[in-house]
Amino acid sequence: MPFIEAIRLALAQIRVQKLKSFFTLLGVTIGVMFLIAVVSIVEGMSSYMEHDFVGKLIGVNTVTLRHIPEIGGDMSEAEWREMLRRPRILITDVKPVVDALPPGTQWSAEGYDNVAIASQWAKPTMLQASAVEGDYFSIREMNMERGRVLTQQEMALGTPVVVIGQEIATRFFPKLDPLNRQLKVAGLPYTVVGVAESQGSIFGISLDRFVIAPYRSPLRHVVNRPLVIDAVKIKATGDADMAEIQENIRQVMRGRHKLRPSQPDNFAIETSESALSFWANIKSKLVIAGVVLPAIGLVVGAIVIMNIMLVAVAERTREIGIRKALGARRRDIMSQFLVEAATLSTIGAAIGIGIGILLAQVIAAVSPLPATIAPWSIIAGVLVGAGVGIISGIYPASRASRLDPISALRQE
């Protein structure tokens, strides 16, 4: 029997028993729905991580030196206490580190903390303020919406000027041009020289709440103890060897911290790769959950389909007898029931894909989790649906195909 004919027959059969068919394919629908939804969320987070998160927070080709890693994996209590005892990175570490790197390498040093910010139009609020030095703005690839970035001269002199984020601008200078107006940072007046372009958000947290002042301005005394800084960022030029840069930084810092060869590093060197590998670790766990949970639904769905198909074979024994008498071969009967099972479960999968996409969109809309519908997950959903149908249909179909036509015809 031609394939199209078999599908038409299967659809007719499904149409006749709508309710039964619906319950039959429920398991597959739910399984595929969760598969699509979970994969969409994980993929969404993943593309977010790879394109936005890492780019915004760390930057490509960028190495960050900290005393404690910002993005860390699982950590024991003892490890955590060890980290808290580590010596801080000092502003005096910056020059030796930079000197060990190839000429032309960009660098920046920053110290930050939450400090009271106020203006004459808004009450004081605790917000993050950074004291920065070096090529901070070009490493962050931060462009100004209005005004300008901090100049080398302002950095060198510690002039009390600031670059602010979008949210700071709207909150402290409502409906006003913030440029050349006064912003009080930890009680001291700073002149706004630039407003940065919107930096977007991460998981619903805005990245536009920041104030940046020169390191040598009084802000440095507020955010950290003397000489202490929080991070040194290094950006390699195009083709530089990232591993070599990391190793150079490491050797300089080990020297400055007077570590013996047997002692482990007491500082952290982070790259976009290390952040991504942390994410990959989380992602693999999420994907396992995203595959195992739907798999349970699919197994249940397969068992249901197999049962229903066995019932169908029993109910339609006479029909099978008639078809055999009229010239249906074993493989015709076999393919009829296989196609029926596969069609049934593919329809289930299609419904599951639809609901799954909807579910992912709803989750994306009501929560900060992003969702990206991966085309491969739709193809996988369809294939899984058809596969479940075929696998669960094999046994009932082969039973049907082996029926003896004489006794099948005699059945009431």
Q: Taking Cα atoms as reference points, which of 126, 54, 114 lies closest to residue 280?
A: 54
331 makes contact with other proteins (CB under 8 A): yes
56 makes contact with other proteins (CB under 8 A): no
Nearer to other proteins, 362 or 406 (CB): 406
- Binding residue for other proteins, selected from 22, 50, 332, 354, defined by CB under 8 A: 332
Nearer to other proteins, 4 or 365 (CB): 4
Region at 380 (left for phi over 0; alpha for psi -120 to 50; beta for the rest): alpha
- Binding residue for other proteins, selected from 60, 303, 325, 383, defined by CB under 8 A: 325
Radius of gyration of the chain (CA): 32
Stretch binding other proteins (CB under 8 A), from 23-31, 123-131, 233-241, 317-325: 317-325
Nearer to other proteins, 167 or 332 (CB): 332
405 makes contact with other proteins (CB under 8 A): yes
- Binding residue for other proteins, selected from 67, 140, 235, 324, defined by CB under 8 A: 324
| Alpha-carbon distances, residue 339 vs 15, 295, 314, 386 (angstroms) | 15, 22, 17, 9
List the structure tokens of 389: 């149908």
State the Cα–Cα distance between residues 141 and 132, nearest whole angstrom. Answer: 15
**Closest distance of CB 21 from other proteins, Å:** 14
Residue-wise DSSP of 45-66: HHHIIIIIIHHHHT-TTEEEEE
Nearer to other proteins, 84 or 326 (CB): 326
42 makes contact with other proteins (CB under 8 A): no
Nearer to other proteins, 67 or 324 (CB): 324
How many residues make contact with other proteins (CB under 8 A)? 22
3-state helix, strand, coil in the chain (%, to 5): 55, 20, 25
1 makes contact with other proteins (CB under 8 A): yes
State the Cα–Cα distance between residues 397 and 390, nearest whole angstrom. Answer: 9
Q: Taking Cα atoms as reference points, which of 352, 333, 354 lies closest to residue 344?
A: 352
**Closest distance of CB 333 from other proteins, Å:** 10
Nearer to other proteins, 135 or 332 (CB): 332
55 makes contact with other proteins (CB under 8 A): no
**Closest distance of CB 339 from other proteins, Å:** 14
Region at 345 (left for phi over 0; alpha for psi -120 to 50; beta for the rest): alpha
Nearer to other proteins, 16 or 366 (CB): 16
241 makes contact with other proteins (CB under 8 A): no
Residues 6+ apart with CB under 8 A from 28: 297, 298, 301, 302, 305, 345, 348, 349, 352, 385, 388, 389
Contact string (CB under 8 A) for other proteins, positions 4-23, x = contact: -x------x---x-------
State the Cα–Cα distance between residues 111 and 131, nearest whole angstrom. Answer: 5
Find out whether 129 and 209 touch, Cβ atoms under 8 Å. Answer: no
- Binding residue for other proteins, selected from 102, 303, 318, 379, defined by CB under 8 A: 318
State the Cα–Cα distance between residues 289 and 46, nearest whole angstrom. Answer: 15
Please report where in the chains the tokens 């013996």 appear, as a residue.
260
Nearer to other proteins, 123 or 331 (CB): 331
328 makes contact with other proteins (CB under 8 A): yes
- Residues lying near other proteins in the complex (CB under 8 A) are found at 1-2, 5, 12, 16, 318-319, 321-332, 405-406, 409
